[in-house]
């Protein structure tokens, strides 16, 4: 399946252009071959962009597109669907490939690499977790990823270096108790459990069409007033409800809840606002008839103590700062890099995606 997908992507990409923009995903006339194109020479690969001393080739792009499609869990059913998906994913894919290569280059500058021992340990872990032998592992890698064991090592090394470089460059962040407390106070609503209410309802139903029948409506209203008066005179709301209510909740004395305040209809929130526990609300005409509510119990909104959320706050702030620091680090790598584009279409997609990403980040 992976091989078929790759062939389809290669075929689509070869002739694909961005509609209305004149940007080709396929290598443009300016994209350079990896070897000479003199008569008799074999063109092995096409270079799309040169970054410092590294290259991103057509094959690299296609493999990344395959990975992105797999990550979405989508199997395109037609070339038209595949073409549209490639249009959508390629800007992000090429930006990610460039940034990945820049990080790997920084890792190599720092002396990072995947040793033979680390690679063997990784393979052994995979085999043990899946209960497979060497041959089955190689077959699985080929089937699932469409690559050889040698290429799989490159994938693991890239993942390892990206993780380690990020940890080195942006992993030294910390948050003080003062900063955590400030975050807690500023975002107190996020750490507050909403108020909850348990209600009782009593409903005197109005027969269908009753709103147009003055006599029926008046009769229902009078029954509701009589029931409310009984409760106000000391009778138990649940007992009166069980006796006269037409609501399905009458079987348990009209009990509803507990319900968190945000989950209550706005009209209900307005009716119970200011009512103390045990208080009986006014009679309300609803589409079903005349309804009376009583507040059985109420729990006010309760902030979770700071000490209980201190670690969660530290994680939140760390993740926010880590993303900011990572963006700054990547921007620094891009500024320092010598990037030579061999395909203007991809360059335009790359520049456009970065501009949109920066704009989105600035608006947050």
Q: Is 9 exposed, middle or buried (0-12, 13-18, 19+ CB in 10 A)?
A: buried
Ordered by start, the domain boundaries in the chain are 1-100+322-364, 195-300
pLDDT tens per residue across all 364 residues of the chain: 444 444 444 444 444 333 323 333 444 444 555 544 455 555 567 899 999 999 999 988 988 888 888 888 877 788 888 888 888 999 999 999 999 999 999 999 988 888 899 999 999 999 999 999 989 999 988 887 778 899 889 888 988 888 888 888 777 677 888 888 999 999 998 899 999 899 999 998 887 754 557 778 888 899 888 989 998 988 899 988 998 898 888 888 888 889 888 888 888 888 888 888 988 888 889 888 898 888 899 888 999 999 999 888 888 888 888 888 888 889 999 999 999 999 999 999 999 999 998 888 765 5
User: What is the sign of the dihedral through the CA atoms of 234, 239, 241 and 246?
Assistant: negative
Residue 317, Ramachandran bin (φ over 0: left; ψ between -120 and 50: alpha; else beta): alpha
> How many Å apart are CA 142 and CA 94, to the nearest integer?
24
- Overall CATH class of domain 195-300: alpha beta
Q: Do residues 61 and 98 touch, judged by C-beta distance below 8 A? A: no
| pTM, rounded to two decimals | 0.58
Q: Is 122 exposed, middle or buried (0-12, 13-18, 19+ CB in 10 A)?
A: middle
CA angle 276, 281, 283 (to 5 degrees): 180
> How many Å apart are CA 242 and CA 90, to the nearest integer?
65
């Amino acid at each position: 399946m992976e091989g078929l997908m790759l062939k389809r992507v290669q075929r689509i990409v070869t002739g694909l252009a961005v509609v209305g923009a004149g940007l080709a995903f396929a290598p443009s006339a300016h994209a350079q071959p990896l070897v000479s194109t003199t008569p008799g020479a074999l063109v092995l690969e096409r270079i799309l962009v040169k970054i410092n001393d590294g290259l991103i080739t057509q094959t690299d792009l296609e493999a990344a597109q395959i990975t992105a499609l797999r990550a979405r869990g989508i199997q395109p059913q037609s070339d038209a669907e595949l073409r549209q998906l490639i249009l959508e994913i390629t800007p992000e894919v090429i930006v990610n490939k460039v940034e990945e290569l820049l990080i790997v280059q920084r890792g190599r500058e720092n002396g990072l690499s995947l040793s033979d021992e680390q690679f063997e340990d990784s393979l052994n872990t995979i085999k043990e977790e899946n209960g497979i032998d060497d041959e089955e592992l190689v077959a699985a890698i080929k089937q699932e990823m469409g690559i050889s064991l040698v290429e799989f090592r490159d994938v693991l090394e890239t993942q390892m270096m990206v993780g380690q470089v990020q940890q080195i460059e942006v992993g030294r962040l910390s948050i003080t108790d003062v900063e955590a407390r400030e975050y807690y106070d500023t975002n107190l609503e996020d750490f507050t459990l909403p108020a909850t209410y348990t209600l009782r309802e009593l409903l005197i139903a109005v027969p269908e069409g009753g709103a147009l029948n003055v006599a029926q409506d008046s009769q229902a209203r009078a029954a509701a007033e009589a029931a409310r008066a009984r409760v106000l005179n000391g009778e138990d709301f649940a007992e009166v409800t069980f006796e006269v209510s037409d609501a399905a909740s009458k079987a348990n004395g009209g009990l509803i809840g507990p319900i968190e305040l945000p989950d209550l209809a706005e009209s209900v929130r307005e009716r119970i606002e200011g009512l103390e526990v045990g208080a009986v609300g006014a009679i309300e005409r609803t589409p079903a008839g005349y309804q009376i509510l009583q507040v059985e119990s109420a729990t006010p909104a309760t902030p979770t103590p700071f000490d209980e959320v201190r670690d969660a706050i530290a994680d939140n702030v760390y993740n926010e700062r880590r993303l900011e620091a990572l963006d700054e680090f990547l921007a620094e790598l891009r500024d320092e890099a010598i990037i030579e584009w061999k395909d203007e279409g991809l360059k335009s997609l790359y520049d456009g995606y970065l501009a949109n990403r920066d704009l989105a980040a600035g608006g947050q």
